[in-house]
């Protein structure tokens, strides 16, 4: 990872990046690079034990958790979500996703579990951030970078008041479907999402550092979060210190984001996916469900509707994007990215603590993915 090391260190030297942890798994071997510091204020060195805010990199884990219920027969992919979330029965649908909220028609079928997994349920962010629909999502459902203060029931009550942006299964809207999926799983099992995730995903995979909040004893390992300023003289501003928003339990664990952990914990999850659902001899997911998870489920029109949320070579599987190169993964708005490529038996992970610069993404994450792709193309041992 010499080129990755050079790029990351250059960003640290320029002041655009406090630090980072990069991991690359190839043919069972892991390369790691650790640069910089956890936070600029204390100068604590970055390490592989550093805890990062994963943000939307929690979506693939929520999808995997849902598939454990599908595997055991507790839920069916085609089941209407109102079986467990009756608050969302009989939805209305906007005739124009950018138009007035009062201009609606009835939904032509119920939203299903599979719609939530694929973000085709109709409740979520569109590419029109100025529309009345998106404004309602931000103000009433608290869609955005900050943790929600709404409790579960208040969130569902607010969601029930909103129309869908499109007919169920016919479009694509970002984020909210994963939150609803987490709440649905809580209803199915009558347990909080964090407990379910620990029992079915974290503990079996020995992901000992993954959680939704950081207790006082571990705050010294938690990286501060920053955002770019665009000012070369002071390129970063502090958004949230270790003892800030994530030093206490959230109003409810969000299936769309909010998870916190180490880069190595996400690598374990990636390893399970590469092993077709198995980890150290233990079956976590059936192979066919893992294959479906990492298969593009969208039509060409749905990919078009996704706009800047998905790149030209991306579709969406269950909980993450699927690219034409065969890779599966996603990017977190807090500055994290991870991809698994079953064609090559590889995984690449980069965790930083600098937020994406809006829809434009992050130059550092883009440079990392480009370098990984170049390295893979020149690897004579690539399968």
Of the candidates 116, 8, 21, which has an alpha carbon nearest to the alpha carbon of residue 62? 116
Whole-angstrom distance, CA of residue 92 vs CA of residue 287: 37
CATH code for the domain of 146: 1.20.58.710
User: Would you say residue 18 lies in a domain?
Assistant: yes
Are both 247 and 341 inside the same structural domain? Answer: yes
**Chain segment 55-83, per-residue pLDDT in tens:** 999 999 999 999 999 999 999 999 999 99
Are both 61 and 205 inside the same structural domain? Answer: yes
CATH code for the domain of 305: 3.40.710.10
Question: Both tokens of residue 202?
Answer: 């974290």
Cα of 24 vs its chain's centroid, Å: 19
Whole-angstrom distance, CA of residue 236 vs CA of residue 48: 23
Are both 81 and 47 inside the same structural domain? Answer: no
Are both 301 and 210 inside the same structural domain? Answer: yes
Lowest mean pLDDT among 49-63, 94-108, 173-187, 356-370: 356-370
DSSP label of 382: -
Q: Cβ distance 319 to 113 under 8 Å?
A: no
Picking from 140, 165, 189, the residue at the C-terminal end of a domain is 189
Strand partners, 260: 53, 211
Handedness of CA 134, 139, 141, 147 (dihedral sign): positive
Are both 234 and 345 inside the same structural domain? Answer: yes
Task: Share the mean pLDDT of the chain.
Answer: 95
Whole-angstrom distance, CA of residue 198 vs CA of residue 200: 6
Are both 219 and 328 inside the same structural domain? Answer: yes
**Chain segment 239-257, per-residue pLDDT in tens:** 999 999 999 999 999 999 9
Task: Give the SS3 label for residue 354.
Answer: strand
Half-sphere exposure of 17 (CA within 13 A, CB side): 27
CA distances from 260 to 143, 171, 268 (A): 19, 30, 14
Overall number of domains in the chain: 2
User: Would you say residue 107 lies in a domain?
Assistant: yes
User: Would you say residue 382 lies in a domain?
Assistant: no
**Chain segment 331-365, per-residue pLDDT in tens:** 999 999 999 999 999 999 999 999 998 777 899 99
- Which range marks the domain in which residue 130 is found? 75-189
């Amino acid at each position: 990872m010499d080129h990755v090391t050079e790029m990351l260190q250059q960003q640290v030297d320029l002041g655009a990046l406090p630090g980072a942890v990069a991991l690359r798994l190839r043919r069972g071997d892991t390369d790691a690079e650790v640069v910089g510091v956890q936070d600029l204020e204390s100068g604590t060195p970055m390490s592989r034990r550093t805890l990062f805010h994963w943000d939307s990199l929690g979506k693939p884990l929520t999808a995997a958790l849902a598939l454990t219920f599908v595997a055991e027969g507790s839920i069916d992919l085609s089941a209407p979500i109102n079986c467990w979330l009756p608050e969302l029965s009989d939805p209305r649908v906007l005739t124009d996703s950018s138009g007035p909220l009062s201009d609606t028609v009835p939904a032509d079928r119920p939203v299903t579990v599979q719609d939530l997994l694929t973000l085709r349920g109709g409740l979520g962010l569109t590419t029109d951030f100025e529309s009345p629909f998106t404004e309602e999502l931000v103000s009433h459902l608290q869609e955005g970078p900050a943790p929600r203060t709404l409790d579960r029931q208040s969130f569902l009550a607010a969601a029930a008041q909103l129309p869908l942006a499109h007919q169920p299964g016919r479009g694509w809207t970002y984020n909210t479907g994963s939150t609803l999926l987490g709440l649905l799983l809580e209803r199915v099992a009558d347990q909080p999402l964090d407990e379910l995730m620990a029992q079915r995903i974290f503990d079996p995979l020995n992901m000992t550092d993954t959680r939704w909040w950081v207790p006082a004893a571990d705050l010294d390992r938690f990286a501060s979060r920053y955002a770019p300023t665009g000012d070369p003289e002071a390129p970063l501003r502090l958004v949230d210190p270790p003892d800030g928003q994530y030093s206490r339990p959230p109003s409810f664990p969000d299936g769309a984001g909010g998870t916190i952990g180490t880069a190595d914990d996400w690598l374990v999850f990636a390893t399970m996916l590469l092993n077709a659902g198995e980890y150290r001899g233990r079956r976590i997911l059936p192979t066919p469900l893992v294959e479906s998870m990492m298969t593009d489920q969208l039509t060409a029109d749905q990919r078009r509707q996704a706009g800047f949320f998905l790149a030209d070579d991306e579709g969406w599987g269950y909980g993450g994007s699927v690219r034409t190169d065969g890779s599966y993964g996603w990017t977190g708005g807090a500055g994290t990215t991870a991809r698994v490529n079953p064609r090559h038996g590889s995984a690449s992970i980069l965790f930083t603590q600098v937020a994406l610069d809006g829809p434009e993404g992050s130059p550092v994450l883009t440079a990392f993915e480009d370098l990984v792709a170049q390295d893979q193309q020149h690897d004579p041992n690539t399968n």
